[in-house]
Copies of this chain bind each other. A is one copy, B any other.
Amino acid sequence: MMIRVLGSAAGGGFPQWNCNCRNCADVRAGKPGFKARTQSSLAVSADGTNWVLLNASPDLRQQINETPQLGSAASGALRNSPIKAAVVTNGDVDHVTGLINLREAQPFSVYGSKRVMDTLAANSIFNVLAGGVVARHDLPMNQPIAIEGPDGPTGITIEAFDVPGKVALYLEDASKGGNFGSKSGDTIGLKVSAPATGKAFFYVPGCAELDPPLRQRLQGAPLVFFDGTLYTDDEMLQQGLMPKTGARMGHISISGPEGSIAAFKDLDVAKKIYVHINNSNPVLNDNSPERKATEQAGWDVGYDGMEVRL
Protein backbone atom coordinates (compact mmCIF):
# COMPACT_ATOMS: atom_id res chain seq x y z
CA MET A 1 0.00 0.00 0.00
CA MET A 2 1.33 3.45 -0.93
CA ILE A 3 0.29 6.37 1.22
CA ARG A 4 1.05 9.98 0.35
CA VAL A 5 0.40 13.00 2.55
CA LEU A 6 -1.11 15.55 0.16
CA GLY A 7 -1.65 18.15 2.85
CA SER A 8 -0.48 18.10 6.46
CA ALA A 9 -1.95 21.37 7.77
CA ALA A 10 -5.24 21.98 9.52
CA GLY A 11 -7.95 24.29 8.17
CA GLY A 12 -6.48 27.50 6.78
CA GLY A 13 -3.19 25.83 5.85
CA PHE A 14 0.29 27.09 6.62
CA PRO A 15 0.65 29.98 6.19
CA GLN A 16 -2.98 30.94 6.73
CA TRP A 17 -4.17 33.81 4.50
CA ASN A 18 -4.89 36.29 7.31
CA CYS A 19 -2.40 35.12 9.95
CA ASN A 20 0.69 36.97 11.08
CA CYS A 21 1.52 34.71 14.03
CA ARG A 22 5.17 33.81 14.62
CA ASN A 23 4.97 30.61 12.56
CA CYS A 24 3.04 32.14 9.64
CA ALA A 25 5.30 35.20 9.50
CA ASP A 26 8.38 32.94 9.53
CA VAL A 27 7.19 30.55 6.83
CA ARG A 28 6.05 33.47 4.67
CA ALA A 29 9.52 35.05 5.06
CA GLY A 30 11.18 31.76 4.02
CA LYS A 31 12.94 31.33 7.35
CA PRO A 32 14.93 28.04 7.60
CA GLY A 33 13.13 25.28 9.50
CA PHE A 34 9.67 26.18 8.20
CA LYS A 35 7.86 24.34 5.39
CA ALA A 36 4.64 25.62 3.85
CA ARG A 37 1.85 23.09 4.15
CA THR A 38 -1.47 22.69 2.39
CA GLN A 39 -4.66 21.49 4.02
CA SER A 40 -5.49 18.08 5.37
CA SER A 41 -5.62 15.17 2.92
CA LEU A 42 -3.96 11.81 2.20
CA ALA A 43 -3.97 9.68 -0.94
CA VAL A 44 -3.69 5.90 -0.77
CA SER A 45 -3.21 3.24 -3.41
CA ALA A 46 -3.06 -0.55 -3.29
CA ASP A 47 -1.57 -0.86 -6.78
CA GLY A 48 0.16 2.47 -7.52
CA THR A 49 -2.30 3.14 -10.33
CA ASN A 50 -5.71 3.65 -8.75
CA TRP A 51 -5.82 6.17 -5.91
CA VAL A 52 -8.32 6.92 -3.17
CA LEU A 53 -8.34 10.35 -1.55
CA LEU A 54 -8.82 10.46 2.19
CA ASN A 55 -10.43 13.88 2.56
CA ALA A 56 -10.56 16.51 -0.18
CA SER A 57 -9.05 19.78 0.94
CA PRO A 58 -9.60 23.22 -0.60
CA ASP A 59 -5.99 22.91 -1.86
CA LEU A 60 -6.73 19.76 -3.84
CA ARG A 61 -6.06 21.25 -7.27
CA GLN A 62 -2.62 22.44 -6.15
CA GLN A 63 -1.99 19.07 -4.47
CA ILE A 64 -2.83 17.17 -7.66
CA ASN A 65 -0.55 19.47 -9.68
CA GLU A 66 2.29 18.74 -7.24
CA THR A 67 1.75 14.97 -7.27
CA PRO A 68 2.51 13.44 -10.69
CA GLN A 69 0.87 10.13 -9.69
CA LEU A 70 -2.47 11.93 -9.36
CA GLY A 71 -2.39 13.82 -12.66
CA SER A 72 -4.27 12.82 -15.76
CA ALA A 73 -2.09 10.19 -17.49
CA ALA A 74 -0.41 11.23 -20.75
CA SER A 75 -0.92 7.68 -22.03
CA GLY A 76 -4.60 7.63 -21.08
CA ALA A 77 -7.88 8.73 -22.61
CA LEU A 78 -8.59 12.39 -23.40
CA ARG A 79 -10.22 12.68 -20.01
CA ASN A 80 -8.81 10.37 -17.34
CA SER A 81 -7.80 10.43 -13.71
CA PRO A 82 -6.14 7.96 -11.35
CA ILE A 83 -8.40 9.31 -8.60
CA LYS A 84 -11.15 6.72 -8.32
CA ALA A 85 -12.76 7.66 -5.01
CA ALA A 86 -12.72 10.13 -2.14
CA VAL A 87 -13.60 9.29 1.46
CA VAL A 88 -14.27 12.17 3.84
CA THR A 89 -14.00 12.04 7.63
CA ASN A 90 -16.17 15.02 8.54
CA GLY A 91 -18.02 17.94 6.97
CA ASP A 92 -15.44 20.60 7.80
CA VAL A 93 -14.46 22.85 4.93
CA ASP A 94 -10.87 21.64 5.06
CA HIS A 95 -12.07 18.10 4.31
CA VAL A 96 -14.93 18.49 1.81
CA THR A 97 -14.35 21.69 -0.21
CA GLY A 98 -11.86 19.95 -2.50
CA LEU A 99 -14.69 17.81 -3.86
CA ILE A 100 -15.82 20.91 -5.76
CA ASN A 101 -12.47 20.76 -7.60
CA LEU A 102 -13.41 17.34 -8.93
CA ARG A 103 -16.05 18.72 -11.29
CA GLU A 104 -15.76 18.09 -15.01
CA ALA A 105 -18.01 15.07 -15.56
CA GLN A 106 -15.34 12.61 -14.46
CA PRO A 107 -16.76 9.46 -12.84
CA PHE A 108 -15.55 8.70 -9.33
CA SER A 109 -17.11 7.80 -5.98
CA VAL A 110 -17.57 9.83 -2.81
CA TYR A 111 -17.95 8.11 0.55
CA GLY A 112 -18.78 9.68 3.90
CA SER A 113 -20.96 9.13 6.93
CA LYS A 114 -24.67 9.66 6.35
CA ARG A 115 -24.45 12.88 8.40
CA VAL A 116 -21.79 14.29 6.09
CA MET A 117 -23.36 12.99 2.88
CA ASP A 118 -26.62 14.66 3.94
CA THR A 119 -24.72 17.93 4.34
CA LEU A 120 -23.27 17.60 0.84
CA ALA A 121 -26.74 16.86 -0.52
CA ALA A 122 -28.13 19.94 1.23
CA ASN A 123 -25.51 22.20 -0.37
CA SER A 124 -26.38 22.63 -4.04
CA ILE A 125 -22.86 23.71 -4.95
CA PHE A 126 -21.78 20.06 -4.66
CA ASN A 127 -24.14 19.29 -7.55
CA VAL A 128 -21.23 20.17 -9.85
CA LEU A 129 -20.48 16.52 -9.08
CA ALA A 130 -23.33 15.47 -11.31
CA GLY A 131 -25.65 12.66 -10.30
CA GLY A 132 -25.26 9.77 -12.74
CA VAL A 133 -21.54 10.60 -13.08
CA VAL A 134 -20.28 10.80 -9.50
CA ALA A 135 -21.55 8.05 -7.19
CA ARG A 136 -22.28 9.01 -3.58
CA HIS A 137 -22.24 6.39 -0.84
CA ASP A 138 -23.12 6.51 2.83
CA LEU A 139 -20.35 4.85 4.80
CA PRO A 140 -21.75 2.65 7.56
CA MET A 141 -19.94 2.62 10.89
CA ASN A 142 -17.93 -0.36 12.10
CA GLN A 143 -18.19 -2.31 8.88
CA PRO A 144 -15.41 -2.88 6.33
CA ILE A 145 -16.44 -1.59 2.90
CA ALA A 146 -14.58 -2.32 -0.34
CA ILE A 147 -14.12 1.10 -1.94
CA GLU A 148 -15.34 1.03 -5.53
CA GLY A 149 -14.26 3.32 -8.33
CA PRO A 150 -16.13 3.81 -11.62
CA ASP A 151 -14.33 0.81 -13.15
CA GLY A 152 -14.62 -1.54 -10.18
CA PRO A 153 -12.86 -2.20 -6.90
CA THR A 154 -9.92 0.00 -5.95
CA GLY A 155 -8.28 -2.68 -3.83
CA ILE A 156 -8.76 -0.50 -0.76
CA THR A 157 -11.15 -1.43 2.03
CA ILE A 158 -12.26 1.07 4.64
CA GLU A 159 -13.89 0.64 8.00
CA ALA A 160 -15.24 3.87 9.46
CA PHE A 161 -15.82 4.42 13.16
CA ASP A 162 -17.01 7.26 15.32
CA VAL A 163 -14.40 9.10 17.34
CA PRO A 164 -14.96 11.77 20.00
CA GLY A 165 -15.36 15.10 18.23
CA LYS A 166 -17.93 17.60 17.07
CA VAL A 167 -20.03 18.70 14.13
CA ALA A 168 -18.48 20.98 11.46
CA LEU A 169 -18.06 24.60 12.51
CA TYR A 170 -20.60 25.96 9.99
CA LEU A 171 -23.24 23.52 11.28
CA GLU A 172 -22.77 24.20 15.00
CA ASP A 173 -26.04 24.84 16.81
CA ALA A 174 -25.37 26.66 20.09
CA SER A 175 -28.96 25.98 21.22
CA LYS A 176 -28.10 22.29 21.42
CA GLY A 177 -25.74 22.72 24.39
CA GLY A 178 -22.06 21.93 24.83
CA ASN A 179 -21.77 19.50 21.92
CA PHE A 180 -23.41 21.94 19.45
CA GLY A 181 -25.78 19.27 18.17
CA SER A 182 -23.01 16.79 17.27
CA LYS A 183 -24.16 13.27 16.38
CA SER A 184 -22.76 9.94 15.30
CA GLY A 185 -20.98 10.31 11.97
CA ASP A 186 -19.91 13.91 12.50
CA THR A 187 -16.28 12.94 13.16
CA ILE A 188 -15.00 9.58 12.08
CA GLY A 189 -11.72 7.71 11.93
CA LEU A 190 -10.83 5.25 9.18
CA LYS A 191 -9.16 1.86 9.20
CA VAL A 192 -7.68 1.62 5.71
CA SER A 193 -6.59 -1.76 4.47
CA ALA A 194 -5.42 -3.53 1.32
CA PRO A 195 -6.89 -7.04 1.56
CA ALA A 196 -4.51 -8.29 -1.15
CA THR A 197 -1.56 -7.82 1.20
CA GLY A 198 -3.31 -7.80 4.56
CA LYS A 199 -1.72 -4.44 5.40
CA ALA A 200 -3.71 -1.78 7.25
CA PHE A 201 -3.36 1.62 8.91
CA PHE A 202 -5.51 4.13 10.74
CA TYR A 203 -6.32 7.70 9.77
CA VAL A 204 -7.81 9.91 12.48
CA PRO A 205 -7.23 13.55 11.50
CA GLY A 206 -9.75 14.97 13.99
CA CYS A 207 -10.26 13.56 17.47
CA ALA A 208 -11.16 15.11 20.83
CA GLU A 209 -10.10 12.28 23.09
CA LEU A 210 -8.71 8.73 23.08
CA ASP A 211 -11.62 7.02 24.77
CA PRO A 212 -11.44 3.30 25.63
CA PRO A 213 -13.02 2.02 22.37
CA LEU A 214 -10.58 4.05 20.28
CA ARG A 215 -7.62 2.93 22.42
CA GLN A 216 -8.65 -0.66 21.91
CA ARG A 217 -8.96 -0.20 18.16
CA LEU A 218 -5.54 1.44 17.72
CA GLN A 219 -3.69 -0.96 20.07
CA GLY A 220 -0.75 -2.58 18.25
CA ALA A 221 -1.44 -0.89 14.88
CA PRO A 222 1.52 -0.70 12.47
CA LEU A 223 0.72 2.91 11.45
CA VAL A 224 -1.54 5.72 12.64
CA PHE A 225 -1.97 9.18 11.12
CA PHE A 226 -3.40 11.26 13.95
CA ASP A 227 -4.81 14.68 14.81
CA GLY A 228 -1.87 17.03 15.51
CA THR A 229 -3.86 20.27 15.46
CA LEU A 230 -2.46 21.87 18.61
CA TYR A 231 0.54 21.28 20.84
CA THR A 232 -1.13 22.82 23.89
CA ASP A 233 -4.87 23.10 24.47
CA ASP A 234 -4.78 26.89 25.00
CA GLU A 235 -2.04 27.86 22.54
CA MET A 236 -4.36 29.92 20.34
CA LEU A 237 -5.47 31.94 23.36
CA GLN A 238 -1.88 32.26 24.62
CA GLN A 239 -0.79 33.55 21.24
CA GLY A 240 -3.74 35.94 21.11
CA LEU A 241 -5.07 34.39 17.90
CA MET A 242 -8.52 33.13 18.82
CA PRO A 243 -10.55 32.64 21.97
CA LYS A 244 -10.98 28.90 21.48
CA THR A 245 -9.27 25.96 23.14
CA GLY A 246 -8.54 22.70 21.40
CA ALA A 247 -11.22 21.07 23.52
CA ARG A 248 -13.75 23.61 22.22
CA MET A 249 -12.74 22.82 18.65
CA GLY A 250 -12.90 19.05 19.16
CA HIS A 251 -9.15 18.47 19.04
CA ILE A 252 -6.96 16.70 21.61
CA SER A 253 -3.56 18.38 22.10
CA ILE A 254 -0.19 16.76 21.49
CA SER A 255 1.38 17.56 24.87
CA GLY A 256 0.33 17.34 28.50
CA PRO A 257 -1.10 14.60 30.69
CA GLU A 258 -4.32 14.57 28.63
CA GLY A 259 -2.49 14.87 25.31
CA SER A 260 -1.98 12.37 22.52
CA ILE A 261 1.70 11.63 23.22
CA ALA A 262 0.67 10.49 26.69
CA ALA A 263 -2.43 8.69 25.47
CA PHE A 264 -0.52 6.67 22.86
CA LYS A 265 2.28 5.74 25.26
CA ASP A 266 1.12 2.20 25.98
CA LEU A 267 -0.64 1.50 22.68
CA ASP A 268 2.33 -0.14 20.98
CA VAL A 269 1.72 1.62 17.64
CA ALA A 270 4.76 1.06 15.41
CA LYS A 271 4.65 4.31 13.42
CA LYS A 272 2.81 7.44 14.49
CA ILE A 273 2.48 10.52 12.30
CA TYR A 274 0.82 13.82 13.15
CA VAL A 275 -1.26 15.44 10.44
CA HIS A 276 -3.90 18.23 10.44
CA ILE A 277 -1.41 20.57 12.13
CA ASN A 278 -2.60 24.08 12.92
CA ASN A 279 -0.45 27.10 12.02
CA SER A 280 -0.14 27.99 15.72
CA ASN A 281 1.56 24.68 16.55
CA PRO A 282 5.24 25.01 17.54
CA VAL A 283 6.04 21.59 16.02
CA LEU A 284 5.85 23.34 12.63
CA ASN A 285 9.24 24.86 13.51
CA ASP A 286 11.74 22.08 12.74
CA ASN A 287 14.08 23.51 15.35
CA SER A 288 11.70 24.08 18.26
CA PRO A 289 11.97 22.27 21.61
CA GLU A 290 8.38 21.11 21.10
CA ARG A 291 9.35 19.49 17.78
CA LYS A 292 12.27 17.73 19.45
CA ALA A 293 10.08 16.53 22.30
CA THR A 294 7.51 15.20 19.84
CA GLU A 295 10.11 13.30 17.85
CA GLN A 296 11.76 12.01 21.01
CA ALA A 297 8.38 10.62 22.01
CA GLY A 298 8.44 8.52 18.83
CA TRP A 299 6.21 10.64 16.61
CA ASP A 300 6.83 11.97 13.12
CA VAL A 301 5.50 15.37 12.14
CA GLY A 302 3.81 14.97 8.77
CA TYR A 303 4.68 17.17 5.82
CA ASP A 304 3.30 17.59 2.30
CA GLY A 305 4.68 14.98 -0.06
CA MET A 306 5.60 12.54 2.74
CA GLU A 307 5.29 8.97 1.54
CA VAL A 308 4.88 5.78 3.53
CA ARG A 309 4.74 2.24 2.19
CA LEU A 310 3.12 -0.65 4.00
List chain B residues, Cβ under 8 A from A11. Answer: 103
Report whether B80 and A171 are in contact in the complex, using a CB–CB cutoff of 8 Å: no
Q: Which of these binds chain B: A15-23, A181-189, A222-230?
A: A15-23
Among A83, A96, A103, A240, max chain B CB count under 10 A is at A103
With CB as the reference atom, state the residue of chain B lying closest to A36. Answer: B65
Contact among B20, B39, B93, B105 for A80, CB-based, below 8 A: B20
Among A72, A73, A242, max chain B CB count under 10 A is at A72
With CB as the reference atom, state the residue of chain B lying closest to A64. Answer: B17
List chain B residues, Cβ under 8 A from A164. Answer: none
Contact among B61, B83, B122, B124 for A171, CB-based, below 8 A: B124
A242 vs B12: C-alpha distance when bound (angstroms): 34
The interface on chain A, measured as residues whose beta carbon lies within 8 A of the other chain's beta carbons, has a size of 60
Q: Which of these binds chain B: A24-32, A140-148, A210-218, A282-290?
A: A24-32
Report whether A12 and B71 are in contact in the complex, using a CB–CB cutoff of 8 Å: no
Contact among B65, B81, B96 for A18, CB-based, below 8 A: B81
Among A83, A105, A119, max chain B CB count under 10 A is at A105
A169 vs B124: C-alpha distance when bound (angstroms): 11
Cβ of A267 within 8 Å of any chain B Cβ, yes or no, is no
Cβ of A123 within 8 Å of any chain B Cβ, yes or no, is yes
Contact among B17, B19, B78, B97 for A241, CB-based, below 8 A: B78
Report whether A239 and B78 are in contact in the complex, using a CB–CB cutoff of 8 Å: yes
Cβ of A49 within 8 Å of any chain B Cβ, yes or no, is no
Q: Which residues from chain A sit less than 8 Å from chain B, CB to CB? A: 11-13, 15-21, 24-25, 28-29, 36, 38-39, 58-59, 61-62, 64-65, 70-74, 76-81, 83, 93, 96-97, 100-106, 119, 122-128, 169-171, 239-242
Shortest 8 CB-CB distances between A and B: which pairs? A127-B170, A18-B81, A18-B106, A20-B72, A123-B123, A128-B170, A62-B62, A123-B125
